[in-house]
Amino acid sequence: MSRSFDRPADFIDAAREMAVTGRPALARLLAEEAADRTPDADTAARILAEFSGPSLRQEG
């Protein structure tokens, strides 16, 4: 079954799955994407707080 990533919740679900399976870096990246797609700043902050750690993105 193919997974679609259309909503912030899709990214959060994937982030939780990655965290449970011992992939915290991937979980953080997915959480950052969910936060970016969340229009409410407070909700975005809560998402990032759930997956603590520094950003691993390489902007450029």
Over residues 3-57, the pLDDT tens digits come to 788 899 999 999 999 999 999 999 999 999 999 999 999 999 999 999 988 887 7
Task: Say how far apart CA 24 and CA 50 lie, in whole Å.
Answer: 11
pTM of this structure: 0.86
d(CA 2, CA 60): 30
Confidence at residue 17, expressed as pLDDT on a 0 to 100 scale: 96
pLDDT in the model for residue 1: 62
Which residue type, as a one-letter code, is found at position 48?
L
Query: Positive or negative CA dihedral for 25, 51, 47, 4?
Result: positive
